[in-house]
Amino acid sequence: MKKLNTLKTKPSCRTDFEPIKEGEKNTKFADLIIDGKSLYKMLIRHDKVPSLGWMSNENQREMIDYFLLRKPHETMWYRYPLMVCSWCGDEGCGIISVKIDRENNVVTWKDFFLEPEMKKINIGPFYFEWDNYKKVINSTFGTAGIQ
């Protein structure tokens, strides 16, 4: 049996982790905490922020639908934009994507890539119990309001 990881969320912003340069945006977001560790901090060197908890209401609902596997991403199929541009959230600026699968009551995050370079990032895989995962992902809506 796979060891299940714990998943929580925490409202955060970029300056919670490091100073930002003049003119950069101090984006607020829903940080995902995996086994007590910040996903943002694990991936900070890639200069992206979590895609959950900010931007427009429509965008937040779409991200939640992706992460709950309610619909596939229109261009990445069963890969999803986990981390996005801290300024605008646009996928065209580059993303960190993750493959998400669900088998019975377990959700798996694996195969993390920096795109468009398709450079593999060596973290994961992570395994989450579905009911808790669903609750945590749904709770990210509105974390940072509309930006």
Q: Return the pLDDT at 61.
A: 95
Strands (E) across 1-147 are located at 7-13, 28-34, 37-38, 49-50, 79-84, 95-103, 106-115, 119-121, 126-129
Q: How many Å apart are CA 133 and CA 106, to the nearest integer?
A: 9
- Note the pLDDT of residue 147: 59
For residue 4, which of 91, 104, 147 has the smallest C-alpha distance?
104
The first and second tokens of residue 59, run together, are 């965008």
User: According to the model, what pLDDT value does residue 24 have?
Assistant: 86
- How many Å apart are CA 97 and CA 72, to the nearest integer? 13
Does the pTM exceed 0.85?
yes
Q: Where are the domains of the chain?
A: 7-139
Contact assessment for residue 108 and residue 100, using Cβ atoms and an 8 Å cutoff: yes
Per-block mean pLDDT, blocks of 10 residues, the chain (147 long): 91 92 90 98 96 94 96 88 93 95 97 95 98 98 74
CA distance from start to end of the chain: 41
